[in-house]
Amino acid sequence: MSTMCYLDGKILPLAEAKVGVYDIGLLRGFGIYEALTTYNHKPFMFADHMARFRHSTGNLAIRIPISDAEIEDVLSTLIALNVEKGHEAVIRMVLTGGTALEGIQYDPEKPTFYILVEQLVHLTPDVFEQGSSVTLFDFQRQFPESKTTNYIQAVLLQEERKKAGAIEILYTARGEVLECATSNFFIVKDGTIITANEHILFGITRKVAIDVARKEFTVDERAVSVEEMWHADEAFLTSSFKDVVPVVKVGDCAIGDGKVGPVTKRVMELFKDFAHSE
């Protein structure tokens, strides 16, 4: 069976989906991206993802051409067509300004909008049991609160990340810990969970992790210094494609005792319970 996708009002085989070479998303990198997964074959935190998607598109003055309800119907169709029962889906939605006008302008009423759905490949159990590592890079995204299609720096750093055996790239700027290339980052100190609250993308998995963690722990959303991170007891990251992942090493330095800590383990359990209850 052919993999199907959605493009500008039609569900069609992926091999037949074409975006024009003059699309401003390709020509000028002008576009918004949103990504989510499913639990029990249903889009996880769909309303929250759509609220963020619409916030991001508003910042770039691009209009999503169909309603949330219509998008939800499209997702249901694509999930049924592309993902086997017993498996979950990765969902990617991309919105650009459409065909470029005079090379650098666009018509906000004629965007390009497409949706890709494929089977989710889960991280291996050892990542959650033994923890992961991240590399460090000094960088802040241009529009940190919007999920744009500009992943240039993240793409350029992938080979370095792989060579280091790291799961993510942790961005820092001005001596502060911000976020990972595709994840949010948390530290734990003396039982308190701490995470940045400015110059980051406010992840939906981040939101859920904070909400469930607050049932049992203090969560402090504020600036986090790099020096503070080095003295943390634990660390973890959150991402739609990864859930809650323990981090036991940053660069060449171990976090805490280099093992998955009790607070992180509990947040992982609380998140899993919430996700499977939805």
- For tokens 């998008």, name the residue: 71
- Supply the pLDDT for residue 277: 87
CATH number of 4-119: 3.30.470.10
Q: Which residues pair with 168 in a beta bridge?
A: 134
The more confidently predicted of residues 142 and 261 is 261
Q: d(Cα 217, Cα 135) in Å, to the nearest integer? A: 27
CATH assignment of 125-277, given 3.40.50.720, 1.10.1740.10, 3.40.50.2300, 3.20.10.10? 3.20.10.10
Q: What is the mean pLDDT of residues 129-133?
A: 98
Side-chain half-sphere CA neighbours of 37 within 13 A: 18
For residue 218, pLDDT over 80 is answered with yes
Over residues 149-188, the pLDDT tens digits come to: 999 999 999 999 999 999 999 999 999 999 999 999 999 9
- Laid out side by side, the sheet with 31-39 consists of 10-13, 4-7, 112-119, 89-96, 31-39, 42-43
Q: d(Cα 25, Cα 3) in Å, to the nearest integer? A: 23
pLDDT band at 114 (very low <50, low <70, confident <90, very high): very high
Side-chain half-sphere CA neighbours of 257 within 13 A: 4
The tokens for 274 are 């919430």
Angle between helices 46-59 and 204-213 (to 10 degrees): 130
pLDDT band at 1 (very low <50, low <70, confident <90, very high): low
Over residues 42-97, the pLDDT tens digits come to: 999 999 999 999 999 988 899 999 999 999 999 999 999 999 999 999 999 999 99
CB count within 10 Å of CB 182 equals 18
- Supply the pLDDT for residue 174: 97
| Mean pLDDT, rounded, of the chain | 96
pLDDT band at 112 (very low <50, low <70, confident <90, very high): very high
> Domain segments of the chain: what residues?
4-119, 125-277
pLDDT above 90 covers a percentage of the chain that reads 96
pLDDT band at 2 (very low <50, low <70, confident <90, very high): confident
Question: Which letter, b or e, does each residue of 117-152 get, where b requires 16 or more Cβ atoms within 10 Å of its Cβ?
Answer: beeeeeeeeeebeebbbbbbbeeebeebebbbebbe
- For tokens 């609380």, name the residue: 270
Q: What is the mean pLDDT of residues 231-251?
A: 98
pLDDT above 70 covers a percentage of the chain that reads 100
pLDDT band at 106 (very low <50, low <70, confident <90, very high): very high
Q: d(Cα 20, Cα 99) in Å, to the nearest integer? A: 7
Q: Which residues, at least 6 apart from 11, have a Cβ–Cβ distance to it below 8 Å?
A: 4, 5, 74, 77, 78, 81
Q: What is the mean pLDDT of residues 208-218?
A: 98
